[in-house]
Structure 1
């Protein structure tokens, strides 16, 4: 039996939801957020070209893969980006991110 990846998501209105995603589904966090009805535009389709899937990592940042250059370039265009900012399209769902806590940005 496969385990699940648990992610806590704080929405734009402060509501908290727990997402439980089966391991091995080979999706990005952006794809899961869109499927869970969060207001993520993902205009570029996950290519790190638009920053419309901007999130803030509240807990678990140390478990994520490092930023790519493309992700850093896009984050530099956002006025509210900080050291906890990531693009959800660049976060792959792996067991190492189990317990991640994020806030969906208000500029999506």
Structure 2
């Protein structure tokens, strides 16, 4: 499946990802800058903060909601943690906006 990462400068990069991998893993394994993932995807650091406006995403968990309070860039209603979203076939073509800062 294809995922499109949009940088704050407006550039886009399309990557191929596997079903079941997290958005964070798809970004880091494809060399996408802007996703740090300090905790390795264990929902402990919020350095995989992303913005996604898409109704195909699973609901926000209470733990993810709490961690999003500590993001370096502004939290919005589109804020999510990339490590907490496992990709499904239905998410093919998902567009993910990267924040300007993670730390």
Structure 2 partner of 1:104: 98
Cα offset, 1:19, TM superposition? 1.6
Larger Rg: 1
Provide TM-score, normalisation by structure 2: 0.86
RMSD (Å) for aligned C-alpha atoms: 1.5
Q: Does 1:63 align with 2:56?
A: yes
Question: Contact (CA 8 Å) 2:52, 2:96: kept in 1 or not?
Answer: yes
Q: TM-score if structure 1 supplies the norm length? A: 0.83
Partner of 1:44: 39
The structure carrying a bigger strand percent of its residues is 1
Partner of 1:54: 49
Deviation string 1:1-40 (CA, Å, 9 cap, x unpaired) is xxxx2211112332111122244xx321101100111232
Greater than 2 Å deviation, 4+ residue runs: 20-23
Q: Measure, in 1, the Cα distance between the counterparts of 2:23 and 2:8.
A: 17
SS at match of 1:62: coil
- Runs of 5+ consecutive residues of structure 1 not aligned to the other structure: none
Residues 11 and 38 in structure 1, CA contact (< 8 A), matched pair in contact too: no
Aligned pairs, number: 100
Q: Which residue of 2 aligns with 1:15?
A: 11
Q: CA deviation at 1:77?
A: 2.1
- Gapped runs of 5+ residues in structure 2? none
